[in-house]
Chain A
C-alpha cells in the first residue's frame, strides 16, 4: 500500500512536483502516466527514498519515506530507469548481491534466486557475465534483482523499455501475476499502450501535478472518449512527450 500526500519537489529553479497526491492499493496495478518531464520518476525516487520531498509526505505500508527510510526499503522492490547491472558479475551474482543486502543468505536465498530465474525464463544466461547480455536480458536481471526479497510493494520505472514484443507480453503476464498474489504494483510509463492494457488504476501526471485519477472506465467516461489513449491525451491536453503504439 502506497500513499503519497501533497509532494513538492524542486531542483534549483526547476519545479518537478507541485503537490502530487495519489495512492496505490494492494492487489492492484496502478499506472503513473504522463509525458516526459511530468514528474513520474521524481515521484518514484521520493518513494524509494533516494530523494527527499521539499513538502508533503509519502509512505509505504504506513512507513514514512523520510522518517523510516530503511523500513520503507524493506517493503519495496524497485526497478529504476537505469538498470545498472554490474558488468563483471554474472546475472546470478547480481541477483545474489541484492539478496544478501536484504539480509538473505544460504539455502533460502539460493532457492529464491532459482525460482526467479525459472519464472523469468533466464536459465540460458543466468551464469553469464552481464556485460554480454542483451537489453531484454538485462531488464529481466534487473527485475529479478529487485524482487529477490519478495517485496509487498513493487515499483517499476518504464519496465518495458527496450523489450521486444514477445518479452513485453511475458512481462505483462508476470506483472499481472504479481498483482494476483496481492502485491501493490506501481509502474510509470509514457507508453500509453502499456498503460491501457495493464492498469487497474491510472494516475495521470502533467507538469508536476495530478490532472486525473481513476480506472480506465472512469477516465473514458470523464472525457467522453471511447478509447483510453484518446482519453489520456484529452486529460493531459497535448500529445507531446507521449508515445502511442
Chain B
C-alpha cells in the first residue's frame, strides 16, 4: 500500500520536475509577494520622503490680504503661488493638493484682535495630498500661536498661561508593528503561494492525465483509487512546500534588505519564519485536496485552471480585509480554515505573542476540512465518470 502510494508520488514529482513551464511558473509565482512588498516600500517610502523634504508649494487666494502671514510662510520655506479662479473645483479635480483662501476681511479682524478666518481647501480622501495638507495646517497653527503669544505679551501675560496642557506623545508601537502596514499583506501572499504552488501539479496529474489519455491505462493497475489520490496529493504537497519556503525566504531577504538600506524596522528572524511555516502547514493539505478534487471533477484542463485560479482569490478575501480593517484575533476566527492562520501569521510577524489555544483550534479545524476534501477527491476518483470528467 505505502509502496504503491510512494510509486505514484515519486512518478508525479519526477514527471512534473521535467515540465519546464510548470516548474518556472511554480518557482516564479511565490516570489510575487516579496517583490511587490519591495516595490511598494520603495515607491511609498520615496513619496513620503520627497513630500516632506521638498519646499511646500502652496496656492494662495487673496495673498494681498495678509502680508504678515505670507511673509511667515515664505520664511518657513513655502513657495507661494497664485490660486486658480475656482479653488474648490480645482482641488476636487485633483489639480491642487491644497489651496489657502484668505478672505478680504482678514486684515480688519486681525487688527481688531478678533479670530481671523482663513480657509484651507483640501480633499481628505486623497492619500497622496495628506502630507501637503498637514504641513500647511501645522504652519498656519504655528502662525496663529505666534500671533496669540505676541498679543498676550502685549497685555503683560505670559503665553504659558494659556498652555493648560502639554501633550507629550509616547509611541507604544513596537518596531515590528510600525512596519505592520506592509506586514499586513504578507499573510495573504503566503496563502497565495500555497494555492498557486500546488495548482499546476494538481491539474496536470488529474485533468491533464485524463486529457492525455493516460488515466484509463493507469486505472487498469491494481491500485486502489484512494492510493492514487494520496500519491498525487503528496506530490502536490511537495510543490506547495517548496513554494511557501521560497516565499518566506523571499520576504526575509526583502525585509532585511529594506532594514539595512531604508532603516525600516522590519526584523524577520529564522525562528519567526519557521513558526510562520508551521502555522501555515495545515492549510497545505487542504489546498492540495481542494485542487485535486476540483481538477478531477472538471471536464478539461482549461476548465480546471479557470476554477482553481478563482479559488486562489477566495482565501485571500479575509486577508485583504485584514490589510484594510484590523481584526482582533478571536477564537471564532480560528474556526474559518485558512483565515485563522492569516490572523495568527500576522500576529507572529507583528512580534505579538500567540495563544496556543488559537493555534491548536485553527490547525485542527483546517486539517479536518482538508481531510473532508481528501475524502471528496477519493470519491470522485472512485466514480466511473472519472474517465470522462464530471
Same assembly: yes
Q: Which residues of A contact B (CB under 8 A)?
A: 45, 48-52, 70-71, 73-74, 76, 78-89, 93, 97-98, 100-103, 105, 142, 145-146
Answer whether residue B224 sits at the interface, using C-beta atoms and an 8 A cutoff.
Answer: yes
Q: Are B223 and A101 in contact (CB under 8 A)?
A: yes
Complex CA distance for A73 and B222, rounded to whole angstroms: 5
Q: List 12 A-B contacts (CB under 8 A).
A: A73-B220, A83-B213, A84-B214, A84-B217, A84-B218, A86-B15, A87-B212, A93-B14, A101-B218, A101-B221, A102-B222, A105-B3
Q: Are B222 and A70 in contact (CB under 8 A)?
A: yes
Q: Which residue on A lies nearest to B20, using beta carbons?
A: A88
Complex CA distance for A105 and B220, rounded to whole angstroms: 19
Of A74, A84, A100, the contact of B213 (CB 8 Å cutoff): A84
Of B3, B214, B216, B219, the contact of A85 (CB 8 Å cutoff): B214
Q: Are A100 and B7 in contact (CB under 8 A)?
A: yes
In the bound complex, residues from chain B placing their C-beta under 8 Å from that of A49 are 219-220
Complex CA distance for A87 and B376, rounded to whole angstroms: 29
Known: A51-B384, A86-B15. A101 touches B7 (CB 8 A): yes
In the bound complex, residues from chain A placing their C-beta under 8 Å from that of B14 are 89, 93
Known: A51-B384, A86-B15, A88-B18. A101 touches B217 (CB 8 A): no
Q: Are B220 and A76 in contact (CB under 8 A)?
A: yes
Q: Which residues of B contact A (CB under 8 A)?
A: 3-4, 7-8, 11, 14-15, 18-19, 209, 212-224, 384, 387
Q: Which residue on A lies nearest to B221, using beta carbons?
A: A101
Q: Are A83 and B224 in contact (CB under 8 A)?
A: no
Of A88, A97, A101, the contact of B19 (CB 8 Å cutoff): A88
Q: Are B15 and A88 in contact (CB under 8 A)?
A: yes
Q: Which residue on B lies nearest to A80, using beta carbons?
A: B216
Q: Are A146 and B217 in contact (CB under 8 A)?
A: yes
Q: Are B213 and A82 in contact (CB under 8 A)?
A: yes
Q: Are B217 and A142 in contact (CB under 8 A)?
A: yes
In the bound complex, residues from chain B placing their C-beta under 8 Å from that of A71 are 222
CB distance from B249 to the nearest CB of A (A): 28
Complex CA distance for A19 and B140, rounded to whole angstroms: 96
Q: Which residue on B lies nearest to A52, using beta carbons?
A: B384
Q: Which residue on A lies nearest to B18, using beta carbons?
A: A88
Of A48, A70, A103, the contact of B224 (CB 8 Å cutoff): A70
In the bound complex, residues from chain B placing their C-beta under 8 Å from that of A102 are 221-222
Of A79, A81, A86, A98, the contact of B221 (CB 8 Å cutoff): A98
CB distance from B383 to the nearest CB of A (A): 10
Q: Are B216 and A84 in contact (CB under 8 A)?
A: yes
Q: Are A73 and B216 in contact (CB under 8 A)?
A: no
Considering residues A48, A88, A102, which has the most beta carbons from chain B within 10 angstroms of its beta carbon?
Answer: A88
In the bound complex, residues from chain A placing their C-beta under 8 Å from that of B222 are 70-71, 73-74, 101-103
Q: Are B384 and A101 in contact (CB under 8 A)?
A: no
Complex CA distance for A65 and B217, rounded to whole angstroms: 16
Nearest 8 CB-CB pairs, A to B? A84-B214, A82-B213, A84-B213, A73-B222, A101-B221, A100-B7, A88-B18, A74-B222
CB distance from A124 to the nearest CB of B (A): 21
Of B3, B209, B218, the contact of A103 (CB 8 Å cutoff): B3
Of A80, A88, A89, A103, the contact of B220 (CB 8 Å cutoff): A80
Q: Which residue on B lies nearest to A157, using beta carbons?
A: B216
Of B18, B212, B224, B384, the contact of A50 (CB 8 Å cutoff): B384
Q: Are A101 and B15 in contact (CB under 8 A)?
A: no
In the bound complex, residues from chain B placing their C-beta under 8 Å from that of A93 are 14
Considering residues B4, B7, B215, which has the most beta carbons from chain A within 10 angstroms of its beta carbon?
Answer: B7
In the bound complex, residues from chain B placing their C-beta under 8 Å from that of A74 are 222
Q: Are A89 and B384 in contact (CB under 8 A)?
A: no
In the bound complex, residues from chain B placing their C-beta under 8 Å from that of A48 are 219-220
CB distance from B374 to the nearest CB of A (A): 20
Complex CA distance for A98 and B209, rounded to whole angstroms: 15
CB distance from B73 to the nearest CB of A (A): 71
Complex CA distance for A74 and B343, rounded to whole angstroms: 50
CB distance from A158 to the nearest CB of B (A): 13
Known: A88-B18, A100-B7. A82 touches B224 (CB 8 A): no
